[in-house]
Structure 1
Amino acid sequence: LVPDLAQAWQDVAAGREPTLEPIGTSLRQWSRRLRESAQEPEVTGELGYWTEVLGHREPGLGSRALDARRDTVGTAGHLTRELSADVTEELLTTLPAAFHAEINDVLLSAFALAVQDWRGDTSGVLVELEAHGREESRVPGADLTRTVGWFTSTHPVRLAPGSTADAGAALKEVKEQLRAVPGKGLGYGMLRHLNPKTGALLRELPRPQIKFNYLGRIAGATGDQRAQDWATAPGSAGIGGGRDADMPLTHAVEVNAITRDTEHGPELLVSWTWAKGLLTEAEVTRLAEAWFTTLRALVEHAAQGDAGGFTPSDVPLAMLDQSEIARLEAELSEWRTSE
């Protein structure tokens, strides 16, 4: 919406009638085609994957289950933490490059390790991931680049990084687990909400107790005057708000993170929301600190000369498992050293 407003303002300021580019796929068209696709074999075939992900029962967070009457937005706890620019910069550049990964792979790997350490087990963690939902590949021919609407989708993912002893190996494990999600997760919402038969089955399965959402990066204003005029106002790059106080919480813990550019460089801003009837502020603070500690450890790990490497999803045609890739990388390293 912002580019449209900026273009319209520029046209009016120049004495022209505002002229905007045409819309590709409307929100109504997208909704109808999603409902139709939810009945197709390609999507219904994902049901087994989602039931398996949700089939692993986890220990409860807190002393009881969520209560829609007591655990509401108005009674929730809130905590905000910021990660320094020097660490955030490495999370966005050096670390993902070393592991041929994305920022979400890095953040979720550290998060899963932190939750395991916080809970005192290594059984993995079930998380509900929130995404932008504009996965055009699920509806061939769709074009949502200029469509205004709230397309957010969510899907569960089970993150099992293993032991915390090898942070690099843990990142590779989680990266592959995220790559295994079919269709970037959009099919889950289609089966859960748009297909009555599969929806009835998925409603009976446990819901993740933790929700995680990385909103991306808010870039600072560039030298372009229009970009400066329509950049995010200073101090307004927070997260959350706009929810009714009586709205029930859907998760014991919700984590919303965003990277914002500052005069010191990019900083990771994280907002924590939790049910105060289940967890104390001290408990959530420990988890928040554990996550940042693990992120710093990953950055330190990436600084080592031999850190990083490929995973099977990077070379799918080779059909190699992780141990075979590691052996090839070791042989290549020895060959380079001997030159």
Structure 2
Amino acid sequence: MGYVTAHNDALLDGQSLRSQLAQTLPDYMVPSVVMVLDSLPLTPNGKLDRRALPEPEHAVAEAHIEARNDVERTLLSIWHGVLGRTDHGVTENFFELGGDSILSLQIVARARQAGLKLGARQVFEHPTVEGLARVARAAHGETRRAEIRTPLPLTPIQQMFFERFPHGESHWNQTVLLSVTGALDVAALEQVLAAQVDAHDALRLRFSRDEEGRWHQQVTERETQPVLALFDLRGHADWKAELEAQCARLQGGLDIERGPLIRAGYFTLENEARLLLTVHHLAVDGVSWRVLLEELRQGIERAARGEPVNWLASTPWSAWVESQAQYAQRDAVKQEAKWWRESLQAASVAWTEAHEKMTGKTEPVLLKLDPIRTRELLQDVPGTSRMSVEEVLLASLARTLGESYGPNGVLISLEGHGREIPDDALATELDLSRTVGWFTTRYPVWLKRSDDTGAILRETKSRIRAVPHRGLHFGLLREELKDLPQPQVSFNYLGQFDQSIGGDNRFAFAGEPHGESMAHTGESPYVLDLNALVAGGELTLAWDYDATRLDAEQVEHLVVRFDKNLSALVAHCLNAAPTVTATDFDIDISQQELDQFLEQLSD
């Protein structure tokens, strides 16, 4: 919020002033609203009386500035689709509206489809439609990098997989079961799936060992194994049991050495259908699923209209693997090891000894927020507190685990989408917003415990945002940093999936059992493994756990405490006066220096 007075009775317009500021200042320094006052209220000693400044109630409507040119109109329409809301204009902050780093990739991808070229970093640097419109460029004449079909090294996350499964586990998938209203044209479905496999080289990967037993990956020119299987379940007395059995068979039929790494099953029912898509995790991640589901929906629609089923060319996975291997050798990457050692010097682990080994698979404990609470967390909290959904969830987790297991704090392994490219030249060359593959990065963060609600929110936010390049380099430095304490808790916020299947109600996520996505082989490296996502307007947090360290009753108690703590943190974000941290500003300033500066302003 900005306040201004006129000099010598000059005529001022708040919206025009704000537009002029946006031409010279970075977006985070431009007030969302500028109010023109006759005079600034003063205290008896002549200082600014901040408490007497008018509330910006009448200016809120002015903040919803509509698009003023074609680029802004295009971007605003994209924002509406990605965010799933239309109650904003071109000046509101993407992340305060509920956006996150994963959704920012969809902004980039959809902008490119609309003929505009943006980088993922630009969404963070210019988080308004107005700001992005100034830096967007026409996307034309771009040359796609060629696929590389020679053997390639593993990425850090793939290395972690083979360290856990040295034999090369083929049943370790990510799977989606969709309900389909009516029936799909099978020929169109086959055409779309074939086009996706052809467009995304990660879906044609094969893995093999060299003479020294080291695993490598290699892209094949075409997929020779069948992808789609058809099933007619009409008339089955127990179609759900048959659906589960056939889905389980498909999921168990992937083969990382001989292929395929993707299978699909189309199940015809009475007046509806089910579509199973399963991909080995070595070739897919959460962002990739958004790409695949959006392509599936668009492809079916295009095929129904008799249009070609194709998409804008994306950077091949194999090109990224080669570039990342070269990037890892840079001095800037290696020098970051010092930061990681300093940031984790106080870290410790909570569990030291396992109980007697238990057999059998444990079912995760689920926490589900209703649509009202989910909407508060997604849309209201970021706008009032400048905190992301992930940061609030992590603050609740740090407090919850600290109450029982970590008096000083908790060491957590976080996941990032892994598509950040710090190098400007490389980022210009490689657009990863629509590339399919397992890009995930893992990195540790030590979160301090605090019983003060405001303090733990600020501390968590500062810790998360201080991580350089969102943890991208940690995996590249794993060998050098392997002596550091290893997290026993894993947390992954997968983001919002509802927008991935569109709003036409043709597809929806189905709830029937569809077999196990992963074989029960290999012990989990984590005592607690938490995965959160939003689907159907509700946030679900699944708590998987190691039964040698925790039992179901203990985990259920943690979930109850987490839910209570989360409610308290959300209430604080919505009701407390907004506060800022040093990480809110793209300048070199410590939290202590910022606090001193703000204290001087209040005097």
Q: Give me the TM-score of the superposition, normalised by structure 2.
A: 0.47
Counterpart-to-counterpart distance in 1, 2:547 and 2:433: 39
SS at match of 1:202: coil
Q: 1:216-275 CA deviation, whole Å, 9 max, x = no partner? A: 0122699853xx324x32437x9x9522111221111100111223xxxx3221111111
Single out whichever of 9-18 and 181-190 deviates more from structure 2: 9-18
Equivalent in the alignment of 1:195? none
Q: Does the alignment pair 1:235 with 2:522?
A: no
SS at match of 2:481: helix
Counterpart-to-counterpart distance in 2, 1:316 and 1:78: 40
Equivalent in the alignment of 1:196? none
CA contact (8 A) 1:118 1:286 kept: no
CA contact (8 A) 1:71 1:277 kept: yes
CA contact (8 A) 1:87 1:299 kept: no
Shift of 1:53: 4.1
Equivalent in the alignment of 1:169? 455
Equivalent in the alignment of 2:414? 129
Equivalent in the alignment of 1:207? 486
Equivalent in the alignment of 1:154? 442
Q: 1:278-300 CA deviation, whole Å, 9 max, x = no partner? A: 11111111111111111100122
SS at match of 2:496: strand
CA contact (8 A) 2:410 2:447 kept: yes
Shift of 1:77: 4.5
CA contact (8 A) 1:133 1:152 kept: yes
CA contact (8 A) 2:299 2:309 kept: yes
Counterpart-to-counterpart distance in 1, 2:372 and 2:567: 10
Equivalent in the alignment of 2:585? 315
Shift of 1:329: 7.0
CA contact (8 A) 1:7 1:20 kept: no
SS at match of 2:422: helix
CA contact (8 A) 2:385 2:574 kept: no
CA contact (8 A) 1:215 1:256 kept: yes
Paired residue for 2:477, among 184, 191, 201? Answer: 191
SS at match of 2:435: coil
Equivalent in the alignment of 1:257? 532
Counterpart-to-counterpart distance in 2, 1:43 and 1:172: 28
Counterpart-to-counterpart distance in 2, 1:222 and 1:152: 22
- Change in CA separation of 1:7 and 1:87 when aligned onto 2, cut-off 3 Å: closer
- Change in CA separation of 1:183 and 1:27 when aligned onto 2, cut-off 3 Å: same
Paired residue for 1:247, among 522, 541, 544? Answer: 522
Q: 1:68-125 CA deviation, whole Å, 9 max, x = no partner? A: xx578x534421121233322222222222221211111111111111112261x111
Q: Does the alignment pair 1:103 with 2:389?
A: yes
SS at match of 1:129: strand
Aligned-partner residue type, residue 22 of structure 1: A
- Change in CA separation of 1:150 and 1:71 when aligned onto 2, cut-off 3 Å: farther
- Change in CA separation of 1:124 and 1:87 when aligned onto 2, cut-off 3 Å: same
SS at match of 1:257: strand
Ranked by relative contact order (alpha carbons within 8 Å, sequence separation 6 or more), the top structure is 1
Aligned pairs (5 A) from 1:68-87:
74-87=360-373
How many residue pairs match? The answer is 308
Give ranges in structure 1 of 5+ residues lacking alignment: 193-198, 335-339
**What is the aligned-residue RMSD (CA, Å)?**
2.9
Aligned-partner residue type, residue 531 of structure 2: N
Shift of 1:16: 2.8
Equivalent in the alignment of 1:5? 296
CA contact (8 A) 1:211 1:253 kept: yes
Aligned-partner residue type, residue 327 of structure 2: S
Counterpart-to-counterpart distance in 2, 1:175 and 1:221: 28
Q: Does the alignment pair 1:46 with 2:322?
A: no
SS at match of 1:75: coil
Counterpart-to-counterpart distance in 1, 2:466 and 2:592: 14
Shift of 1:4: 2.1
Aligned-partner residue type, residue 304 of structure 2: A
Counterpart-to-counterpart distance in 2, 1:147 and 1:44: 26
Aligned-partner residue type, residue 159 of structure 1: L
Shift of 1:63: 3.5
Equivalent in the alignment of 2:161? none
SS at match of 1:93: helix
CA contact (8 A) 2:488 2:526 kept: yes
Equivalent in the alignment of 2:272? none
- Change in CA separation of 1:170 and 1:181 when aligned onto 2, cut-off 3 Å: same
SS at match of 1:10: helix
Q: Give me the TM-score of the superposition, normalised by structure 1.
A: 0.81
Give ranges in structure 2 of 5+ residues lacking alignment: 1-291
Counterpart-to-counterpart distance in 2, 1:330 and 1:269: 44
Counterpart-to-counterpart distance in 2, 1:135 and 1:118: 35
Shift of 1:180: 0.9
Q: Does the alignment pair 1:32 with 2:318?
A: no
Counterpart-to-counterpart distance in 2, 1:288 and 1:54: 26
